[in-house]
Amino acid sequence: MPNSAKRSVLAASLGLAMLAATPQAHAQDASLYSKNDIPEKFEDVIPGGQDFIRKEAMIPMRDGTKLYTVIMIPKGAHDAPIVLTRTPYNAAERAGNPKATSLATALPPPDAAFVEAKYIRVYQDVRGKYGSEGKYVMMYPPRGPLNPTKTDETTDGWDTIDWLVKHVPESNGRVGMIGSSYEGLTVVMALLDPHPALKAAVPESPMVDTYMGDDWFHYGAFRQMMLGYVHMQTVQKGEGAVTPTDIYDKYEEYLNAGSAGDYIRSRGLDKLPFIAREMAHPAYDAFWQEQDLARRLAAKPSSVPTIWEQGLFDQEDMWGANHAWLALKAAGHAENNWLVMGPWSHSQVNGKGYAVGAFKWEGDTARQYNRQMVMPFFEQYLRDGKPAKLAKVNIYNTGDDHWDAFNDWPTACAQGCGTSLKPLYLAKQAGLSFTRPAEAQAADTYVSDPAKPVPFLPRPVLDPFFGYGSTYAGYLPWSTWLVHDQRFVDGRSDVLTYQTPVLTDPVRVQGIPVADLKAMTTGTDGDFVVKLIDVYPSSVPSDPTMGGYQMAIAMDIFRGRYRESFEHPSAIPASTPQTYKFDLPNVNHVFQPGHRIMVQVQSTLFPLYDRNPQTYVPNIFHAKPGDYRAATISVLRSDSQPSAVWLPVIGN
């Protein structure tokens, strides 16, 4: 038979066979569609396995509430310390990638040193958030008048540590706690009644007194741009979003809304319990005093060795760590407490510390802190390692660009620490002088108009918490606004600017500057903002972009109604001299030769802080449109009424 014929016969035979098989194949394929492509159980196969064991536990608290906890254990671990972080930010996510092959890639980068030291790493959701049971209360107050229950973050920390040392056999029975911001708060709360197994603590930028200088208020001025954060945290148990809006510029949005209370009510935020509590307590009454953790620590100091970490440019929690350390020192407990202040924005210690804004430092300062301070500290107290030999105080020098070690802090202060502050007086012709003014009467004036508030950042101002956890870290204007070039407001008619001649010698400042304004207003209320600024030379050959840069090294805002008492506000007597005296944030800086020292005075930092109507009303959250009035502010600088910034000058 010819080959062509053979091929035809073969093709016909194959065709018949395929036709015969088609119904059976179709039947097999069809049977697949009767099943679920998502199996009831499937476990990923990780080539080579993992070098760690990941455990999840629902740890019972004393009231029966169970808290979701992730425990990451290095394989082969024994007698290993435990490092615990209690968080409202999703423990499962904070514990990293459960499918990673190694613990080093599983845990987030800040945990790298713990991985190398073969620590057991634990993350836990606070009650009511993400995987934990119970109800969530923002900044759950300590047990007492505000919290009549038998539990708080202190008992939850105690119960968690007690469970861990009894149920994690790989541990050596010693626990350290670490956490930043809200996570720092949970560390501080654990120190109010520490479990015996808690051997070391590192609260970083903790929320300690949120009225005086942390998240919600600063010296009585309301930080209204934190409202989006509260919305994000309290409208649901899991991940949330900031308050929705179609207005791009927060300056425009808040200005159009009216008072902070008007903004809150127009968005329905007054239905959120925490915001309702804030609105009901605009003054520093018992509600806020009960939650001042520095007071509570000083009243009942713990013996747990503790490093208090603070960013010098922390745009959210500037107050907590340093004031807690100062309170404990005053209570006689400096021996087991250390203070570290680095050149960082909020929680930057959990990232890279090469720079903040336009300012570059000598190496990765965050890594230096984590590797050279935190890890030796934990090794000493969690493993009986060699002494960490930490200086009592380590503060980065932002002028000389290096770490300084101190035996005490502040090195210069108003009273009681050896070296007193030196007044830098506001002087004529927009000058600054260490010599007291001689004029019998002298003042500089500006008009503060609530309809045209001074922005705290160049517009447009974006929501700082939009995309928190993803794009948040990329919104640099918010994280670096404290070091933003202040030339963007210098020259405004409602900003007074004073500066020294060009310095011929360095001026070194170490401590806490004090703003001391003598001022009059035609209104009956008002805010005062004071900025201490390092002005760079007009030409900086090594970095031309820094020519003339106005770097604020310390600034804050003070609400005038609280000039006599933060608990009992009072109207300002119109056109009558008053004193407005308040501490500025800590500084460790050198104004170099060729630079100038500058002080700016203004009445608004908007929209970060709400506008003062400049007409006294009992509660500014309820101010009406007609209450907002322009006022003429007179800053006095006479011999009898001098205004100054008292500087902690060293060696001059």
pLDDT digits (tens, 9 = 90+) for 147-195: 999 999 999 999 999 999 999 999 999 999 999 999 999 999 999 999 9
* Segment 595-608, tens digit of pLDDT: 999 999 999 999 99
Residue 49 has a pLDDT of: 83
Residue 567 has a pLDDT of: 98
Question: What is the percentage of the chain residues whose pLDDT exceeds 70?
Answer: 92
Query: How many C-beta atoms surround the C-beta of residue 112 within 10 A?
Result: 15
Lowest mean pLDDT among 59-68, 249-258, 460-469, 585-594: 460-469
The alpha carbon of residue 66 and the mean position of all alpha carbons in its chain are separated, in whole angstroms, by: 28
Question: What is the percentage of the chain residues whose pLDDT exceeds 90?
Answer: 87
- pLDDT confidence tier of residue 28, bands split at 50, 70 and 90: low
* Segment 204-237, tens digit of pLDDT: 999 999 999 999 999 999 999 999 999 999 999 9
Contacts of 608 (CB under 8 A, 6+ apart): 223, 224, 225, 456, 481
* Segment 308-349, tens digit of pLDDT: 999 999 999 999 999 999 999 999 999 999 999 999 999 999
Mean predicted confidence (pLDDT) in 52-70? 98
Model confidence at 15: pLDDT above 80: no
Domains of the chain: 52-211+287-406 (3.40.50.1820), 422-650 (2.60.120.260)
Give the full edge-to-edge strand order of the sheet including 587-591: 587-591, 507-511, 649-650
The alpha carbon of residue 414 and the mean position of all alpha carbons in its chain are separated, in whole angstroms, by: 27
* Segment 430-442, tens digit of pLDDT: 999 999 999 999 9
Residue 44 has a pLDDT of: 76
* Segment 528-566, tens digit of pLDDT: 999 999 999 999 999 999 999 999 999 999 999 999 999
- Token pair belonging to 329: 């020192």
Mean model confidence pLDDT for the chain: 93
* Segment 352-407, tens digit of pLDDT: 999 999 999 999 999 999 999 999 999 999 998 899 999 999 999 999 999 999 99
CA gap 91, 589 in Å, rounded: 38
> Contact 151/192 with Cβ under 8 angstroms?
no
**What is the DSSP secondary-structure string of 282-332?**
-S--HHHHTT-HHHHHHHS---S-EEEEEETT-SS-SSHHHHHHHHHHHTT
Model confidence at 1: pLDDT above 80: no
Instruction: Label residue 542 exposed, middle or buried (CB < 10 Å: 0-12, 13-18, 19+).
Output: exposed
Lowest mean pLDDT among 122-131, 405-414, 571-580, 639-648: 405-414
Residue 411 has a pLDDT of: 86
Compute φ and ψ for 21, nearest 5 degrees. -85, -20
- pLDDT confidence tier of residue 641, bands split at 50, 70 and 90: very high
Residue 240 has a pLDDT of: 86
Q: Are β-strands 587-591 and 578-583 bridged in parallel, bridged antiparallel, or unpaired?
A: unpaired
- pLDDT confidence tier of residue 628, bands split at 50, 70 and 90: very high
The alpha carbon of residue 387 and the mean position of all alpha carbons in its chain are separated, in whole angstroms, by: 30
Q: Among 119, 134, 125, 206, which residue's Cα sits nearest to residue 170? A: 119
* Segment 66-122, tens digit of pLDDT: 999 999 999 999 999 999 999 999 999 999 999 999 999 999 999 999 999 999 999
C-alpha pair distances (Å), 519 with each of 454, 601, 633: 19, 11, 7
